[in-house]
Amino acid sequence: MELKMDIWKFFSVLHEYHGICNPMSTAKLDELIGLLELNPGATVLDIACGKGEILTRLAERYEIAGVGVDISPYFVADTERRLKERVLGAKIEILNMDGADYSPDQLFDLSMCIGASWVYQGHRGTLNALKSMTKQGGLILVGEPFWIREPDEAYLAAQNYTRDMFGTHYENVNVGEDEGLCPLYTLVSNQDDWDRYETLKWYAAEKYAGKNPDDNDANEVLNRISHERKSYLRWGRDTVGWSLYLFRKVIDIE
pLDDT for 57-93, tens place per residue? 999 999 999 999 999 999 999 999 999 999 999 999 9
Decide if 45 contacts 110 (C-beta within 8 A): yes
Question: Which of 238, 227, 229 is CA-nearest to residue 150?
Answer: 238
Residue 254: pLDDT above 70? Answer: no
- Taking the model in full, what pTM does it have? 0.95
Residue 131 CA neighbour count, 13 Å, CB half:
20
Q: What's the average model confidence in pLDDT over 97-113?
A: 97
Q: Which pLDDT score is estimated for 202?
A: 98
The Cα–Cα gap between 45 and 57 comes to 14
Q: Quick one: which H or E segment has residue 101? A: none
Decide if 139 contacts 110 (C-beta within 8 A): yes
Q: Where exactly are the structural domains of the chain?
A: 7-248
* Segment 226-248, tens digit of pLDDT: 999 999 999 999 999 999 999 99
Q: What's the average model confidence in pLDDT over 27-52?
A: 96
| CATH code of domain 7-248 | 3.40.50.150
Q: What's the average model confidence in pLDDT over 92-116?
A: 97
Q: Which pLDDT score is estimated for 170?
A: 98
* Segment 142-197, tens digit of pLDDT: 999 999 999 999 999 999 999 999 999 999 999 999 999 999 999 999 999 999 99
Contact residues for 96 (Cβ-Cβ < 8 A; gap 6+): 70, 71, 72, 73, 76
Q: Give the angle subtended at the CA of 52 by the CAs of 47 and 55, to the nearest 5°.
A: 80
